Amino acid sequence: MKHGKGSWKKEETNPIGNQYAGEYYNDKKHGHGEFKWESGNRYSGSYMFDKRHGYGEMFWKNGTVYKGDWE
């Protein structure tokens, strides 16, 4: 069970796979963290019980950026 700071990769053998680095609470993303998708999209910000919540910044591969609050 993940709790505290840590990181996760979808597949250790695939360096481009989905990955997360940040804080966990009872095995859920909770606190500040960064998630990178295999597609090249990236989110950096707050999580609450595995969902984006509070302030965060989403960067899409096509150059679109959202900076603000998530529910």
> Cβ distance 53 to 46 under 8 Å?
yes
Q: What is the pLDDT of residues 2-57, one digit of tens each?
A: 999 999 888 766 667 899 999 999 999 999 999 999 899 999 999 999 999 999 99
Q: Round to whole Å and give the CA distance between 50 and 14.
A: 23
Q: Round to whole Å and give the CA distance between 57 and 43.
A: 6
Supply the pTM of this predicted model.
0.88
| pLDDT value of residue 9 | 87
